[in-house]
Amino acid sequence: MKPSDTPKTYRVKSFGCQMNVYDGERMAELLDAKGIKPAAEGEDADLVVLNTCHIREKATEKVYSDIGRIEKAGREAGKKPMIAVAGCVAQAEGEEIMARAPAVGMVVGPQAYHRLGDMLDRAVKGERSTDTDMPEDAKFAALPKRRKVSPTAFLTVQEGCDKFCTYCVVPYTRGAEISRPYSDLVDEAAKLVDAGAREVTLLGQNVNAWSGEDDKGRLQGLDGLIRELAKLPDLKRIRYTTSHPNDMTEGLIAAHGEVDKLMPYLHLPVQSGSDRVLKAMNRSHTAESYLKVLDRVRAARPDIALSGDFIVGFPGETDAEFEETLSLIDAVGYAAAFSFKYSPRPGTPAATMDGQIAPEVMDERLQRLQAHLNRDQLAFNEASVGKTCDVLIERKGRKPGQWLGKSPWLQSVFFDSDLQIGDMVRAELVHAGPSSLQGRLLETVSA
């Protein structure tokens, strides 16, 4: 690679989960701190960071085609943009990317991106570098301070996963479970609130497995952290995602009934309703134990909106086992959900299991599953009509004069009133659609 000028503009493109969105924001802050500016909308950036996701289908091919597209746009503009590949594809396939894509100057894994600045200095000198180390916990301390944020902010509290579900690549790309220290998190949350955040979503692959010592040396679980953050006066809402059923502690369930700022929404993936499939997935819970957890959560917070993740077509899944998943869905009545066709991930145990399911069977199962989920989501939204609730305004809607915010139950609510980003408004929910509601503004509670 030839030496080049220090880039003046950057763009970070994040794919996949909310953890990647958070990492993307932190990489942007790091580049800001080096005096590089975000490229304007539509402008070709001098440096493009592809913050990739490896969880499902064709992730790697997508990265190569993105690289090709960036190179082509650069050629047409007479430029040679610098390209960095970050995220989970970088972690899993870093060496290969370096070998196959000469245009890529930097490959950096999710646990090493605090070193992106140094890698950039080397890239300017013409040196390509790969960093997929997993140094323990050094990253957050080395990152620059939080900058101005939107009214809703993400805060990564826990990373990695020790659960080793047999289909999942996360334990390999994100590494072992680590919890960030309590005081760092209280500090970062306070800074986010000072910078304008009114809602903070605590993030982790297994966020409810977070634990840490508080300032008095007592061991706290996620509920202890939530109770502490709830003391920040200008923080109005707390959410967390994603959780494992086995880590739903008594304390966390109780917090749902006791902490007003903890929003009535729980994303609790189950993946399948068949105990045989759950065992083959190494989920370490059964359909029944999962439903029992939900019963306890509902007892603590009766209006809670429940959400889940589902995989159809796990190797060996029979029609009857798939039907068990539909029965579980019918028993729960989810307010929202994410559903996927099983995708073999290289290096995971399930990828080499017997009984891989034909694509057309997966398609058909996914369609049937989603019909059940869509039915329940619409029913949940329809049952909300007539309710009065607070909505935090997040952005303009697509139509002129339209504003969009979230209800406590994480539903999108549209308004045709003159509002501002960051307003907390009191609203009546007047009309329900499959994925959003119309709100009628009653009053602005706070701005």
Residues that bind ligand SF4 (CB under 6 A): 161, 163-165, 168, 170-171, 205-206, 244
CA distances from 168 to 165, 290, 351 (A): 6, 19, 10
CA distances from 289 to 72, 266, 284, 295 (A): 53, 16, 10, 10
Question: 221 near 252, Cβ under 8 Å?
Answer: yes
Question: 439 near 430, Cβ under 8 Å?
Answer: yes
Question: 428 near 439, Cβ under 8 Å?
Answer: yes
Residue 42 has a CB neighbour count (10 Å cut-off) of 5
Give the shortest CB-250-to-ligand 5AD separation in angstroms: 24
Binding partner of 171, given ligand 5AD, ligand SF4, none, CB within 5-8 angstroms per partner class: ligand SF4
Query: What is the number of the residue whose Cβ is closest to ligand 5AD?
Result: 309
Token output for 216: 């008095």
Give the shortest CB-311-to-ligand SF4 separation in angstroms: 9
Binding partner of 311, given ligand SF4, ligand 5AD, none, CB within 5-8 angstroms per partner class: ligand 5AD
When asked if residue 182 is in the footprint of ligand 5AD (CB under 6 A), the reply is no
Residues in region 420-439 near ligand 5AD by CB under 6 A: none
Token output for 264: 């009535």
Instruction: Compute the residue count for the chain.
Output: 447
Give the shortest CB-317-to-ligand 5AD separation in angstroms: 12
For ligand 5AD, the closer CB: 105 or 245 = 245
Binding partner of 413, given ligand 5AD, ligand SF4, none, CB within 5-8 angstroms per partner class: none
For ligand SF4, the closer CB: 51 or 205 = 205
For ligand SF4, the closer CB: 214 or 309 = 309
For ligand SF4, the closer CB: 168 or 429 = 168
When asked if residue 55 is in the footprint of ligand 5AD (CB under 6 A), the reply is yes
Give the shortest CB-163-to-ligand SF4 separation in angstroms: 4
Binding partner of 285, given ligand SF4, ligand 5AD, none, CB within 5-8 angstroms per partner class: none
Which residue blocks in 101-197 are alpha helix, DSSP H? 116-124, 138-142, 170-173, 182-194
Output the CA angle 371-373-377, nearest 5 degrees.
115
Give the shortest CB-64-to-ligand SF4 separation in angstroms: 25
Binding partner of 51, given ligand 5AD, ligand SF4, none, CB within 5-8 angstroms per partner class: none
The dihedrals phi and psi of 346, each to the nearest 5 degrees, come to -55, 135
Taking alpha carbons only, the member of 170, 342, 367 closest to residue 272 is 342
**Residue written as tokens 């190797």?**
315
User: DSSP code of 150?
Assistant: -
Measured CA to CA, the distance from residue 223 to residue 226 in angstroms comes to 5
Total residues contacting ligand 5AD by CB under 6 A comes to 12
When asked if residue 36 is in the footprint of ligand 5AD (CB under 6 A), the reply is no
**Three-class DSSP category at 67:** helix
Measured CA to CA, the distance from residue 88 to residue 163 in angstroms comes to 17
Token output for 46: 């001098």
Residue 47 has a CB neighbour count (10 Å cut-off) of 23
Give the shortest CB-247-to-ligand 5AD separation in angstroms: 14
When asked if residue 279 is in the footprint of ligand 5AD (CB under 6 A), the reply is no
Binding partner of 340, given ligand SF4, ligand 5AD, none, CB within 5-8 angstroms per partner class: ligand 5AD
> Phi-psi bin for 86: left (phi > 0), alpha (psi -120 to 50), beta?
beta
Quick note: the x/- pattern for ligand 5AD over 130-169, rule CB under 6 A, is: -------------------------------------xx-
Q: Which stretch of DSSP H or E encloses residue 212?
A: strand 211-213
Bridge partners of 374?
Answer: none
When asked if residue 334 is in the footprint of ligand 5AD (CB under 6 A), the reply is no
Binding partner of 10, given ligand SF4, ligand 5AD, none, CB within 5-8 angstroms per partner class: none
When asked if residue 287 is in the footprint of ligand 5AD (CB under 6 A), the reply is no
Region binding ligand 5AD by CB under 6 A among candidate stretches 106-114, 116-124, 225-233, 339-347? 339-347
Give the shortest CB-193-to-ligand SF4 separation in angstroms: 28
Region binding ligand 5AD by CB under 6 A among candidate stretches 65-73, 145-153, 318-326, 335-343? 335-343
Q: Are strands 211-213 and 403-406 parallel, antiparallel or unpaired?
A: unpaired
Residue type, 17: C
Q: Which residues make up the interface to ligand 5AD (CB under 6 A)?
A: 55-56, 167-168, 269, 271, 309, 311, 340, 342-343, 345
